[in-house]
């Protein structure tokens, strides 16, 4: 357990005392006294850098040059500690369901594993002793049975929203993790498929398939996987963050596919929809499914049946017992539970995190429901709502009509803070006889819970929805535009990041809360209305002005550096930068109000406001490698941490005043400092 507690939060969160009587002695007359004042995290700063040249270096320069290799920065350290604590809590949980699964995992041998896997396949009717392959109609029925059981081969049944209620959506299935992993690591995906096929065929009663047959089949399966991947639509992704940036697409009623395609044996798209139960008013079919329908109606049935077998085997492949001692310390973590036993427990934890996240959340809930400042966050967020409403009302470039719609949306936005009222997954049961059977049951119960939301109002079931797609312990906060709801997960409300006795830190973190609120009004979120429907509530003139201001922001962020010699991507990061800009302004204003109610004199107030900006940097403290920054530039819609600082501070008049910035590399004239909200 030693490794978990390597980081001492106390160093960074010692109380701030010397607010007024700072012994300020400038070392050289040309240097501004403000930059020489004593600040709480003095030892991180590099005062030889002018704030206007790099506020990031000014606030963190010394730390960046000399930090310990294991020090990942404030949040990096908290995240490491947090995730170790949660996985440890799971491994040591007294929850009877968790204990049952862990016991079963502990005792799982290779032969048990294969027996359990085949038993699942028999139960789903996808393995059997019959020599004749199923008919196409039977195959579709098998597929539907698998989908009911919580699997997603070829297609998946998930939920989305429409006019304020949850609807059932039929969309492209999931790729096998094994193939995705092979592709990501540069391995040959055909080999990855063959590995699973060989495993299945060597344990089945069938005479062993020869290698050439396996090659051909693996190749065909890869083609199916590629079709599934191509038909994938981010709008229906499990990841709320992917959904957040998804391009809105029109759904289609199942009936619109009526008889558009018919297989040689008479089966139609409508039959498929019927079998999968997506035919009523609450059903929509993703139009990107067309290639999958074609596959189901035209691919030879035997190949499809083999694909289903492959898919199930791939779902459990990571649970196959392996003697990890052969691999040494592959996790590189050295914490207590790692590298003990057969490694199945660790794989189980990872598997459940995506396949039955409610079970992980059951434990997270017990660990995190106490000692988090839910009320403090709620109070701050309601104050922010009022502040934001005032900002919209006072906005000088929008018409009254657009302002009215924006304020209506803001008023309707629902804040889900901390933990849900009830423990997630509380109704889950495990009546299976072994590990794989029990995991299978969890998937099935999750699918049923999800479908039980269909037809229900979105407004009352935000948490129920979110807990289908992420674990409660995730170190994150999100806004879901299609719900017009935000989620501040408990990790952001713990004392380490949202302390009661350190106001600059507390308000710096409040910037995240404001950030999520402002996602409702960013380049993407502004396309959704108060109910979460995709409706344009802008007057054309306001929309044009809004987009011009966004373009100015894109241009400003394009100027920044991602890493040496490579510029940032202002377009890709636009929505996140807009949310940052709004969030920091709201948190800053709120802190300023608080200080004035406290009756501080101007000098003391200004010092604290400088501390706010310095803590804002601390919040994003990290020392990212060029490789990591390059990866981020390619596929992360968030700006690099240093640009989350530099890009925002250079837009804020108050920051220029507080740090007396009049020139420097990133200096902008007042007219260049774009304002949106």
Q: Which residues bind Zn ion (CB under 5 A)?
A: 576, 579
Q: How far apart are CA 522 and CA 614, in angstroms?
A: 25
Q: What minimum distance in Å lies between the beta carbon of 479 and Zn ion?
A: 7
Q: What minimum distance in Å lies between the beta carbon of 395 and Zn ion?
A: 22
Q: What minimum distance in Å lies between the beta carbon of 638 and Zn ion?
A: 7
Decide: 283 and 167 in contact? Cβ < 8 Å: yes
Residue closer to Zn ion (CB basis): 261 or 385:
385
Which residues make Cβ contacts (< 8 Å) with residue 266, sequence separation at least 6? none
118-142 core/surface letters (b: 16 or more CB in 10 A; e: else): bbbbeebebbeeeeeebebeebbeb
Q: What minimum distance in Å lies between the beta carbon of 492 and Zn ion?
A: 13
Q: What minimum distance in Å lies between the beta carbon of 644 and Zn ion?
A: 10
Q: What minimum distance in Å lies between the beta carbon of 579 and Zn ion?
A: 5
Tokens of 98: 């968790």
Query: Sign of torsion, CA 381 383 414 512?
Result: negative
Q: How far apart are CA 567 and CA 598, in angstroms?
A: 43
Q: What minimum distance in Å lies between the beta carbon of 515 and Zn ion?
A: 6
Q: What minimum distance in Å lies between the beta carbon of 576 and Zn ion?
A: 5
Q: How far apart are CA 198 and CA 184, in angstroms?
A: 22
Q: Residue 254: how many CB atoms within 10 A of its CB?
A: 20
The phi and psi torsions of 532 (rounded to 5 degrees) equal 85, 10
Q: What minimum distance in Å lies between the beta carbon of 487 and Zn ion?
A: 12
Residue closer to Zn ion (CB basis): 243 or 607:
243
Where do we find the tokens 């059932």? 168
Residue closer to Zn ion (CB basis): 25 or 247:
247
Residue closer to Zn ion (CB basis): 170 or 579:
579
Residue closer to Zn ion (CB basis): 171 or 577:
577
Q: What minimum distance in Å lies between the beta carbon of 329 and Zn ion?
A: 35
Q: What minimum distance in Å lies between the beta carbon of 482 and Zn ion?
A: 15
Q: What minimum distance in Å lies between the beta carbon of 621 and Zn ion?
A: 18
Residue 315 has, within 13 A of its CA and on its CB side, a CA count of 28
3-state DSSP percent of the chain in helix, strand and coil, to 5 = 55, 5, 40
DSSP secondary structure of 26-55: -SSTTS-HHHHS--TTGGG--TTS-TTT-H
Q: What minimum distance in Å lies between the beta carbon of 516 and Zn ion?
A: 7
Q: What minimum distance in Å lies between the beta carbon of 496 and Zn ion?
A: 21
Calculate the dihedral angle through the C-alpha atoms of 535, 541, 547, 548, rounding to the nearest 10 degrees: 180
Q: What minimum distance in Å lies between the beta carbon of 245 and Zn ion?
A: 9
What would you measure as the largest C-alpha separation in the chain, in angstroms?
92
Residue closer to Zn ion (CB basis): 405 or 478:
478
Residue closer to Zn ion (CB basis): 137 or 638:
638
Residue closer to Zn ion (CB basis): 126 or 579:
579
Residue closer to Zn ion (CB basis): 253 or 385:
385
Residue closer to Zn ion (CB basis): 251 or 522:
522
Residue closer to Zn ion (CB basis): 577 or 621:
577
Residue closer to Zn ion (CB basis): 464 or 576:
576
Residue closer to Zn ion (CB basis): 464 or 522:
522
Local structure of 553: helix, strand or coil: helix
340-359 core/surface letters (b: 16 or more CB in 10 A; e: else): ebbbbbbbbbebbbebbbbb
Which residues make Cβ contacts (< 8 Å) with residue 302, sequence separation at least 6? 133
DSSP secondary structure of 288-356: GGHHHHHHHHHS-HHHHHHHHHHHHHHHHGGGS---GGGG-STT----TTTTSTTSHHHHHHHHHHHHS
DSSP letter at 556 equals: H
Tokens of 565: 């010699």
DSSP secondary structure of 83-143: HHHHHHHHHT---HHHHHHHHHHHT--HHHHHHHHHHHHHHTTSS-S-SSPPPHHHHHHHH
Q: How far apart are CA 156 and CA 278, in angstroms?
A: 11
CA 385 to chain centre: 24
DSSP letter at 447 equals: H
Decide: 615 and 607 in contact? Cβ < 8 Å: no
Which three-class secondary structure string do you get for 399-429? CHHHHHHHHHHHHHCEEEECCCCCCCCCCCC
Q: Using DSSP bridges, classify how beta strands 165-172 and 155-162 pair: parallel, antiparallel or unpaired.
A: antiparallel
Residue closer to Zn ion (CB basis): 49 or 384:
384
Q: What minimum distance in Å lies between the beta carbon of 122 and Zn ion?
A: 46
Residue closer to Zn ion (CB basis): 343 or 583:
583
Residue closer to Zn ion (CB basis): 299 or 576:
576
Q: Using DSSP bridges, classify how beta strands 283-285 and 165-172 pair: parallel, antiparallel or unpaired.
A: parallel
């Amino acid at each position: 357990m030693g490794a978990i507690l390597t980081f001492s939060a106390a160093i960074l969160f010692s109380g701030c005392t010397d607010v007024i009587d700072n012994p300020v002695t400038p070392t050289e007359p040309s240097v501004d006294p403000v930059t020489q004042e004593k600040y709480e995290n003095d030892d991180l700063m590099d005062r030889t850098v002018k704030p206007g040249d790099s506020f990031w270096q000014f606030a963190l320069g010394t730390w960046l040059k000399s930090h310990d290799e294991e020090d990942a920065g404030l949040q990096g350290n908290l995240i490491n500690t947090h995730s170790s604590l949660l996985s440890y809590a799971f491994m040591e949980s007294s929850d009877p369901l968790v204990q049952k699964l862990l016991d079963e995992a502990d005792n799982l041998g290779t032969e048990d594993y294969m027996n359990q896997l085949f038993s699942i396949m028999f139960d789903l009717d996808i393995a059997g002793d019959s020599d004749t392959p199923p008919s196409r109609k039977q195959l579709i029925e098998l597929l539907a049975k698998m989908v009911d059981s919580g699997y997603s081969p070829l297609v998946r049944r998930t939920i989305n929203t429409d006019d304020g209620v949850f609807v059932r959506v039929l969309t492209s299935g999931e790729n096998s993790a094994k193939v995705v992993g092979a592709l990501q690591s540069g391995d040959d995906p055909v080999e990855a498929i063959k590995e699973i096929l060989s495993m299945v065929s060597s344990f089945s009663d069938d005479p062993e398939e020869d290698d050439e047959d396996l090659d051909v089949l693996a190749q065909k399966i890869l083609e199916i996987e590629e079709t599934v991947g191509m038909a994938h639509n981010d709008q229906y992704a499990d990841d709320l963050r992917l959904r957040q940036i998804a391009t809105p697409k029109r759904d289609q009623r199942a009936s619109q596919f009526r008889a558009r395609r018919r297989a040689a044996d008479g089966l139609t798209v409508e039959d498929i929809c019927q079998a999968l139960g997506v035919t009523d008013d609450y059903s929509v079919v993703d139009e990107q499914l067309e290639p999958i329908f074609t596959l189901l109606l035209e691919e030879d049935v035997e190949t499809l049946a083999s694909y289903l077998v492959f898919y199930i085997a791939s779902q459990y492949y990571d649970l196959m017992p392996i003697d990890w001692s052969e691999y040494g310390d592959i996790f590189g973590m050295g914490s207590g539970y790692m590298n003990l036993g057969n490694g199945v427990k660790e794989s189980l934890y990872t598997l459940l995190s995506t396949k039955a996240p409610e079970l992980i959340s059951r434990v997270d809930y017990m660990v995190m429901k106490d000692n988090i400042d839910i009320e403090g966050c709620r109070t701050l967020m309601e104050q922010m709502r009022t502040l934001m409403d005032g900002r919209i009302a006072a906005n000088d470039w929008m018409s009254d009509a657009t302002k009215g719609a924006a304020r209506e949306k803001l008023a309707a936005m629902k804040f889900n803070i901390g933990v849900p009222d009830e423990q997630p997954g509380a109704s889950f049961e495990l009546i299976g006889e072994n590990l794989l059977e029990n995991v299978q049951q969890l998937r099935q119960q999750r699918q049923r819970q999800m479908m039980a939301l269909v037809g229900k109002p979105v407004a009352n079931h935000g948490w129920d929805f979110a807990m289908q797609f992420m674990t409660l312990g995730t170190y994150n906060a999100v806004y879901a535009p299609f719900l017009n709801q935000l989620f501040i997960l408990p990790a952001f409300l713990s004392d380490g990041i949202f302390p009661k006795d350190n106001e600059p830190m507390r308000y710096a973190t409040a910037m995240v809360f404001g950030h999520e609120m402002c996602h409702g009004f960013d380049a993407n979120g502004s396309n959704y209305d108060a109910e979460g429907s995709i409706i344009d509530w802008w007057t054309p003139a306001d929309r044009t002005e809004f987009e011009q201001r966004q373009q100015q922001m894109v241009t400003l962020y394009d100027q920044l550096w991602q890493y040496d010699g490579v510029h940032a991507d202002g377009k890709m990061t636009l929505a996140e930068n807009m949310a940052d800009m709004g969030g920091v302004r709201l948190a800053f204003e709120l802190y300023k109000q608080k200080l004035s109610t406290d009756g501080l004199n101007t000098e003391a107030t200004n010092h604290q406001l400088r501390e706010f900006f310095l803590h804002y940097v601390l919040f994003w403290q990290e020392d990212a490698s060029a490789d990591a920054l390059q990866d981020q530039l390619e596929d992360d819609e968030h700006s690099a941490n240093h640009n989350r600082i530099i890009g925002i501070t250079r837009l804020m008049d108050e920051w220029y005043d507080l740090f007396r910035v009049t020139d420097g590399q990133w200096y902008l004239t007042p007219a260049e400092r774009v304002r949106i909200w």
